[in-house]
Structure 1
Amino acid sequence: MTTQMTTATDPTPRTSRTPRIALVGDRSPHVRSHVRVPMLLDALAERDGLVLDAYWIETPDAAEPDAVKGFDAVWLLPGSPYASEEGALAAIRTAREDGIPFLGTCAGFQHALIEYARDVCGLPRAAHAENDPAADDGDLLIAPLACSLVGHEGPVRVTPGSLAQRVIGAERSTERYHCNYGPDSRHLDTLRAHGMRFTGVDDDGQVRIAELPAHPFFLATLFQPELAGDGTKPHPVVRALAVAAAARAGVHGRSRA
């Protein structure tokens, strides 16, 4: 396959229409999610004919102007605290404003909410407790969870008719987590009022999925779909991002059971 697992920020247009995906995060062999990505890209190519050119962009590089412009998808991966919160938020903002298919998982989910709160909802001080432990409690949008979800697996109830439900293909699924932080419910109504939908919750009603209906493909999950199974069969959320990238690039894959 032609996947390139390199660190790069080159936005130069390519003659090939192979979809290009920006993997944004501070790549580490100690982050399980990062180790899984090459396996998932291979599986997408072999199972579905969804070949992606993948470029890893470290978060400090993502802060550079136009770092993710020209890509057909952006995936903000786990691994927080990021080396550059600014870079993570800049990648999200570009994907959101330019209609680039976007997936944020775990810390990617958390920062997608932060970016939306600051840049769309008029909450410039919206904070993440891991990045800014001294932040005023009233500004915390992402706060420590009452119970850690590191290594946890649990059910998620998905809103019928949502992008998440169409992608997952069911109204209930069991997902894997590896996080200690989640959204503080005090600010969620403000995000809802500005167009964000929360379309997946756990059995206690805690938000686990967010999406933007006005966007071609914008999905964020607190769980880590990249950790599903053994990596040989991509989670439907991961496959859906690849399909959206292919659609943006004007190519099509094949389906295999």
Structure 2
Amino acid sequence: MTKFIIVTGGVMSSVGKGTVAASIGLLLKARGYKVSVVKVDPYINVDAGTMNPYMHGEVFVTDDGAETDLDLGHYERFLDINMSKYNNVTAGKVYFEVIRKEREGKYLGQTVQIIPHVTDEIKYMIRRVADVDKADIIIVEIGGTVGDIESLPFLEAVRQMKLEEDEGNIVFVHIALVEYLHVTGELKTKPLQHSVQELRRIGIQPDIIIARSIVALDDDTKKKIALFTNVKPENIFSSYDVSSSYEVPLILENQGLPLNLLKKLNMKYDGKANLDSWVKFVKSIHDGNKTVKIALVGKYTKLKDSYLSIKEAIYHAAAMLDIKPELIWIESTDLENSSVNEKLYGVNGIIVLPGFGKRGVEGKIKAIQYARENNVPYLGICYGLQLAIVEYARNVLGLKDANTTEVDPNTPYPVVTLLDDQKRMTQVGGTMRLGAQKIILKDGTIAYSLYNKSEVYERHRHRYEVNPTYVDKLQKSGLVVSGVSENGLVEMIELKNHKFFVATQAHPEFKSRPLRPSPLFLGFLKAIIS
């Protein structure tokens, strides 16, 4: 019978629930259990696909084409498993399904209400993951903060699950901020106490509390929390600030959290967890011998979580190569009105980041031109490929007004155009070319040498393509199309006689893992240090 660990958060958002949920999953998987994770998002959006990155960070894409919350990226990286559309439950999905059933008469004339109809749908979607993933343990992260109006139906649903499941089948883990006052050197627990009171008011008593703080909790603070939350001190753990999120599983392991959870779930474990590879990886993050400067050029760089998976993919490859990357975030709009030589001088590599729309495009094109002309290793991702085509058409082919029709629908040289099937789309959400797509690699190219195979699958999220009309002309002038889709779309390009100039229509960052870095990011960093 599947067991459930319900993770809730208090005091504030972004308290680290995703990292802790992923860490718990890693620690239980290291003990031989099959684990999966569900992220519950209370927003009314059906998925994260239509959100501005400044609102919610990056949109993480799964193999089956779901546009999801970025926490699914944490789960995939920590547990080294693939998530699916079922692993992200949103209020939008729930209400959409309830309304569909009501319109079809499935409720047999009943008055459709939050309880039981909405809560029943939530419970069904959570339990469905257990059926789909065949997991021993399902970790359910409830998004948002306890006390939010939109979270109430989801908290009510998991409260009901506690009643419906056998004793020992569900454990509640509450993560809340404990503020540290630098002036007095005190840890203040009152906000955490109030968040637990709010949980208890709706019928949920946490079994375990994880206090998120700058410094580790002392025993006196744990006793104080225990007194006001009805949770014993031995069930209170500390998730304190560390230099890398990949350290969190190790600090929770050292405090005995996984064994505590297994005991509460009536699950046995004898022996030592297999964490040797993870410990080695974490050590590699800090012990890099050579520092390299990597410029990341994008339009949402003020919120680093907009490109979370790319940042992590760099760290994965760097750890394997014993490199310490120094990430230099450059807003592409800043390059449009300043000297690109001044901004990019001295960097060891350039990545042009994905994005949409007109803002900052000319700055990205200037960065691409700088990389191409100065033999600086370059990696272009999604828009970074499309704009590399635009730059090449303008400055090598001499098509001065070349552009993508996304930016200039009236360009005389539309080297990047809307995909044919996108021309018929009337809705925005969930209609892009999404998910894992086959890429056929050309023998003898850099891309082929990095993957060491002729066919690979990478995840996609785009509406535009390299215009097939211009492909022959581009290739005759020296640009190499090193990867294509099954139906001939340009998937990867590269340049000869360049230290490393590779761009892909795909998002290889989504499949990068701490112990299995993305081949493209690995090749990019190898070129930098060669």
TM over 0.5, shorter chain = yes
CA distance in 1, matches of 2:506, 2:375: 23
Question: Deviation at 1:226?
Answer: 0.9
Question: Deviation at 1:230?
Answer: 5.4
Deviation digits for residues 39-75 of structure 1, max 9, x if unmatched? 2233234333222111111101233221222111000
Out of 368, 371, 393, which is 1:92 matched to? 368
Q: What's the TM-score once normalised by structure 1's chain length?
A: 0.83
Tell whether 2:293 aligns with 1:20. Answer: yes
User: 1:233 is paired with a residue of what secondary structure?
Assistant: coil
Letter in 1 for 2:346: G
After superposition, residues 1-257 of structure 1 pair within 5 angstroms as 18-27=291-300, 34-63=307-336, 64-65=338-339, 66=341, 67-81=343-357, 83-136=359-412, 139-147=413-421, 149-229=432-512, 233-247=516-530
Is 1:175–1:223's contact at 8 Å kept on the other side of the alignment? yes
Is 1:23–1:75's contact at 8 Å kept on the other side of the alignment? yes
Is 1:95–1:101's contact at 8 Å kept on the other side of the alignment? yes
CA distance in 2, matches of 1:33, 1:197: 30
Deviation digits for residues 163-204 of structure 1, max 9, x if unmatched? 110112111101110100001111122211211010101111
Residues 237, 215 of structure 1: CA spacing in aligned structure 2 closer, same or farther, 3 A cutoff?
A: same
Question: Deviation at 1:17?
Answer: 5.8
CA distance in 2, matches of 1:114, 1:179: 16
Residues 195, 231 of structure 1: CA spacing in aligned structure 2 closer, same or farther, 3 A cutoff?
A: same
User: 2:372 is paired with a residue of what secondary structure?
Assistant: helix
User: 2:300 is paired with a residue of what secondary structure?
Assistant: coil
Question: Deviation at 1:30?
Answer: 8.6
Is 2:483–2:491's contact at 8 Å kept on the other side of the alignment? yes
CA distance in 2, matches of 1:2, 1:74: 24
Letter in 1 for 2:307: H
CA distance in 1, matches of 2:483, 2:404: 21
Match of 2:250 in 1: none
User: 1:242 is paired with a residue of what secondary structure?
Assistant: helix
Question: Deviation at 1:33?
Answer: 6.6
Is 2:382–2:506's contact at 8 Å kept on the other side of the alignment? yes
CA distance in 2, matches of 1:125, 1:19: 35
Q: What's the TM-score once normalised by structure 2's chain length?
A: 0.41
Task: Pick which of 40-49 and 236-245 moved more.
Answer: 40-49
Match of 1:254 in 2: none
Is 1:153–1:176's contact at 8 Å kept on the other side of the alignment? yes
Question: Deviation at 1:208?
Answer: 0.7
Structure 2's unaligned 5+ residue stretches are 1-241, 245-288, 423-431
Structure 1's unaligned 5+ residue stretches are 4-15, 248-257
Match of 2:58 in 1: none
CA distance in 2, matches of 1:2, 1:186: 49
CA distance in 2, matches of 1:39, 1:221: 18
Is 1:156–1:172's contact at 8 Å kept on the other side of the alignment? yes
CA distance in 1, matches of 2:528, 2:358: 25
User: 1:214 is paired with a residue of what secondary structure?
Assistant: coil
Is 2:300–2:306's contact at 8 Å kept on the other side of the alignment? no
Is 1:208–1:222's contact at 8 Å kept on the other side of the alignment? yes
User: 1:125 is paired with a residue of what secondary structure?
Assistant: coil
Residues 102, 229 of structure 1: CA spacing in aligned structure 2 closer, same or farther, 3 A cutoff?
A: closer
CA distance in 2, matches of 1:130, 1:232: 37
Q: Which has the larger radius of gyration?
A: 2
Residues 29, 36 of structure 1: CA spacing in aligned structure 2 closer, same or farther, 3 A cutoff?
A: farther
Is 1:73–1:101's contact at 8 Å kept on the other side of the alignment? yes
Match of 1:13 in 2: none
Is 1:152–1:176's contact at 8 Å kept on the other side of the alignment? yes
CA distance in 2, matches of 1:234, 1:27: 24
CA distance in 2, matches of 1:133, 1:161: 36
Is 1:33–1:78's contact at 8 Å kept on the other side of the alignment? no
% identical aligned pairs: 28
Size of the alignment, in residue pairs? 233
Question: Aligned Cα RMSD in Å?
Answer: 2.5
Question: Deviation at 1:213?
Answer: 0.9
User: 2:391 is paired with a residue of what secondary structure?
Assistant: helix
CA distance in 1, matches of 2:302, 2:290: 30
Question: Deviation at 1:236?
Answer: 0.3
Is 1:211–1:218's contact at 8 Å kept on the other side of the alignment? yes
Task: Pick which of 113-122 and 31-40 moved more.
Answer: 31-40
